[in-house]
Amino acid sequence: MKNRGITTSKIKNNAPAIPVLVWVGFFAGVPLVFVLVISFLTRDSLGIIVLEFSTENYRRIFEPVYLKIFFNSFLLAGLTGVVTLVIGYPVAYITSKLKGRQRTLTIGLIMLPFWISSLLRTYGWRILLDYKGIINNILTGLGITNEPVTMLGTFAASLVGTAYMLIPFMIIAVFNSVDKLDRSLLEASYDLGAGKLKTFRNITLRLTLPGIAGGFTLVFIPALGLFFISDILGGGQTVYLGNKINELIGRGRNKPLAAAMSIAMVLFITLVIYIYTKVSKEEVGGLL
């Protein structure tokens, strides 16, 4: 009798989640199952998928060419996380100290780029970074450099573009956690004899760690797959996961390998999210 009561209430409590689960299950789960199945199949010479079980695709991921692609992608995504954190944290911190209209306006400006197509914004960076572009004009015009600097087609250009595209996520994630920070804790730290730097390290940084981890995750994951930025700004010089998968599906006519790489990427992202939930839940332990 008692057990049945609990079961019915459990169903009742979770009832609102059912439509969402069905939706996500159908539109995200089913395609993912397709990808998983295809990743274990092979293709014929025309690129048509053949129903023949094989683990060949997964073996190929471990070939140096593909390992390098994984490495490049993680390097780009990781550095994007670092760059957006270093630039985004102070922005978020200062924004959280603003009041009223200034605050609303600043948050609005941070979100504003989302109103413009990301492709368009990336082409905008081409104009800035071009060999005869604005930045080079300024550099040579001011005599800082004699020759224009090659910026397009470099790893740095991909990094700048990716970081630019994703920094709002970092700022908003850090902002949310800095904003929740109880200022009396900072005062308590000063009161107990800690200076500004120690207070920042021991209290502010430590208590905004969940925001930092969240921001890093929000930036890292899309950075792995943003293939068009490295195409437009990186000139396809370095191959990243996104580009490679995109290419394998299209010109490469190797959907099974693309599927295997996608599954590997999903697994890796799952790992990153797992680490994130660990970090953000962790409450115990000090930095002192």
Partner 1 sequence: MDRNLLEIDGVTKYYGDNHVLKNVSFDIRDGEFLTLLGPSGCGKTTLLRCIAGLEKIDSGDILLKNESIKALPANKRNVNTVFQNYALFPHLNVRDNIAYGPRVKKSMSRSELEAKIGEVLELVKMKGYESRMPQELSGGEKQRIAIARALINKPDTLLLDEPLGALDLKLRKYMQKELAHLQREAKTTFVYVTHDQEEALNMSDRIAVMDKGTILQIGSPSEIYNEPADLFVASFIGDRNISQVTVVEKNDDHVTIRLGSNVINVRCSNKAGCDFKSGDKAYLAVHMDKMRIACEQALDTLKGKVGSIHYAGSQIRIEIDVDGSDFTVIEYQKNECLCGEGDTVWLSWEEKGGVLLPLLPLPGGLSV
Binding site for partner 1 (CB under 8 A): 182, 184-185, 187-195, 198, 202-203, 206-207, 283-286, 288
Give least dist CB 78 to partner 1, A: 26
Residue (37 or 207) nearer to partner 1, CB: 207
Instruction: State both tokens at 179.
Output: 């904003």
Whole-angstrom distance, CA of residue 217 vs CA of residue 169? 9
C-alpha distances in Å from residue 184, one per residue of 100, 194, 222, 284: 21, 14, 36, 20
Give least dist CB 165 to partner 1, A: 33
Query: Bridge-partner residues for 49, per DSSP?
Result: 43
Whole-angstrom distance, CA of residue 126 vs CA of residue 157? 9
Residue (52 or 182) nearer to partner 1, CB: 182
DSSP state, residue 50: E
Instruction: Compute φ and ψ for 87, nearest 5 degrees.
Output: -80, -40
Report whether 41 contacts 54 (CB < 8 A): yes
Residue (203 or 259) nearer to partner 1, CB: 203
Give least dist CB 97 to partner 1, A: 16
Residue (32 or 209) nearer to partner 1, CB: 209
Whole-angstrom distance, CA of residue 75 vs CA of residue 242? 13
Give least dist CB 85 to partner 1, A: 20
Residue (168 or 210) nearer to partner 1, CB: 210
Instruction: Compute φ and ψ for 42, nearest 5 degrees.
Output: -120, 180
Residue (147 or 191) nearer to partner 1, CB: 191
Residue (45 or 184) nearer to partner 1, CB: 184
Give least dist CB 214 to partner 1, A: 16
Whole-angstrom distance, CA of residue 202 vs CA of residue 190? 11
Whole-angstrom distance, CA of residue 226 vs CA of residue 109? 23
Residue 210's Cβ-count burial label (10 Å; 0-12, 13-18, 19+) is buried
Instruction: State both tokens at 108.
Output: 């609005």
